[in-house]
Amino acid sequence: MAFKLAVANTVIVPVKFTVNNAGKEEQHNFSLDCARLMQNEITAKTKQGDGLISDFMKGVTRNWSDQRLVIDDENNPVPFSAEAFDVMLSLPGLPAVAFNSYLKECGAKEKN
């Protein structure tokens, strides 16, 4: 008999942060649609030496919603694509914020 966890293979990850935009604190809130990895998979991927957090996030992220950070020439939010996600991850600090949010949402949480 095989055993498995009763959780979906997908996790929706809310990402919240502020960025200094010409001296003003600008708040961003959006969600990433990510593949849920198990602890042993996360450990293996993060111990691969030269792997970057941004590479990890590129490997698990499938889509986004409600993002307004990456825009086109007419200042409209763009749909998810590998190229658009690369642009998003180029913002210093954002890969770490997204990764920490992923870890928080992907696993179990203690209930008070």
What domain range is 38 assigned to? 10-105
How far is Cα 43 from Cα 37, in angstroms, rounded to an integer?
A: 10
Asked if residue 22 belongs to a domain, the reply is yes
Q: What is the pLDDT of residue 50?
A: 56
How far is Cα 69 from Cα 84, in angstroms, rounded to an integer?
A: 10
How many distinct structural domains can be found in the chain?
1
What percent of the chain has pLDDT above 70?
Answer: 96
Asked if residue 111 belongs to a domain, the reply is no
How far is Cα 9 from Cα 84, in angstroms, rounded to an integer?
A: 24
Is this prediction's pTM over 0.85?
yes
Asked if residue 60 belongs to a domain, the reply is yes
Asked if residue 2 belongs to a domain, the reply is no
Chain segment 31-84, per-residue pLDDT in tens: 999 999 999 999 888 886 556 899 999 999 999 999 999 999 999 999 999 999
